[in-house]
Amino acid sequence: MYCRLAVLMAEKNPQLSQRQLARETSLDITTINRLFTNNFSRVDTSTVEVLCSYFDKGVGDLFDLRDAENIPKRKTRKYPKKEQTPSQDEQSDPRGAA
């Protein structure tokens, strides 16, 4: 089964992010990501209902029945991690906390 979540997101709003969709639907970001990347083995019916309602689409618009070898895997964008700077307490600790 192929999830068309990425397509529906782009059609609704090309700037719609997975995080924004998760906030607006109250679905877990991990659930959104697994559907977006087609890396799932099952889906809760409540999740399907929420997404169909959000996009005003039917189940057949969200999912497409395909052979497993015909399902492309999407990759999510990786953002570089921000460097962590020592906190104010760590910088001023005279004992030299390790």
Residue 96 lies in a domain: no
Count of structural domains, the chain: 1
Indicate whether 27 belongs to any domain: yes
The whole-angstrom separation of Cα 6 and Cα 74 is 9
Q: Is residue 32 part of a domain?
A: yes
DSSP, collapsed to helix, strand or coil, labels residue 18 as helix
Q: How confident is the model at residue 35 (pLDDT cuts 50, 70, 90)?
A: very high
Residue 89 lies inside a defined structural domain of this protein: no
CATH code for position 52: 1.10.260.40
| Assigned domain for 80 exists | no
Whether residue 50 lies inside any domain: the answer is yes
- Whether 39 maps to a domain, the answer reads yes
Residue 83 placed within a domain: no
The answer to pTM > 0.75 is no
What band does 52 get if pLDDT is binned at 50, 70 and 90? very high
Do 38 and 72 meet the contact criterion of CB atoms below 8 Å apart? Answer: yes
Tokens of 93: 């600790």
* Per-residue pLDDT tens digits for 65-80: 877 666 566 665 554 4
